[in-house]
């Protein structure tokens, strides 16, 4: 068990009240980007309704944010909270993989 600043990281993933902070990095309005956005929103609506904050970032419009997050491929989903931080690459069409990456299932 890891405890830092009074927080139990192992319990963050099991707390059903946690608000997930997510960033989806995309490259413009390409078909792959649109598909990733739609797939992810569908998953989040079904499994985290009212418990997530999603920021969609176009790497062409905001390259400095992409650099600061070390984005090497797009679309890429970055889970900022709850810990642990995770990065998922692809169009988010594999629901089971996305849920595992978000530590939901």
Q: What is the pLDDT of residue 12?
A: 44
Sign of CA dihedral 46, 50, 55, 56: positive
Tens digits of pLDDT across the chain (105 residues): 233 333 444 444 445 678 999 999 999 999 999 999 999 999 999 999 999 999 999 999 999 999 999 999 999 999 999 999 999 999 999 999 999 999 987
In a domain, 29, yes or no: yes
Burial degree of 99 (CB within 10 A; 0-12, 13-18, 19+): middle
| pTM as predicted | 0.83
3-class DSSP assignment, residue 87 = strand
Burial degree of 66 (CB within 10 A; 0-12, 13-18, 19+): buried
3-class DSSP assignment, residue 36 = helix
In a domain, 40, yes or no: yes
In a domain, 31, yes or no: yes
Q: What is the pLDDT of residue 38?
A: 98
Q: What is the pLDDT of residue 15?
A: 57
Q: What is the pLDDT of residue 52?
A: 96
In a domain, 3, yes or no: no
Q: What is the pLDDT of residue 90?
A: 98
Q: What is the pLDDT of residue 88?
A: 98
Quote the number of domains for the chain: 1
Q: CATH no. for residue 28?
A: 3.40.30.10
In a domain, 11, yes or no: no
Q: What is the pLDDT of residue 16?
A: 67
Q: What angle is formed at CA 35 by the lines to CA 70 and CA 24, rounded to 5 degrees?
A: 25
Residue 43 host element (H or E): helix 31-47
Q: What is the pLDDT of residue 17?
A: 77
């Amino acid at each position: 068990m890891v405890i830092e600043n009074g927080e139990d990281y192992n319990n963050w993933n099991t707390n059903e009240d946690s608000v997930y902070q997510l960033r989806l990095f995309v490259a413009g309005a390409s078909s792959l980007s649109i598909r990733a956005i739609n797939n992810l929103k569908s998953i989040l609506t079904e499994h985290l309704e009212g418990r997530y904050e999603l920021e969609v970032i176009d790497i062409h419009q905001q390259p400095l944010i992409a650099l600061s997050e070390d984005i090497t491929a797009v679309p890429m989903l970055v889970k900022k909270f709850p810990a642990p931080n995770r990065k998922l690459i692809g169009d988010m069409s594999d629901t089971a993989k996305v849920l595992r990456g978000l530590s939901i299932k």
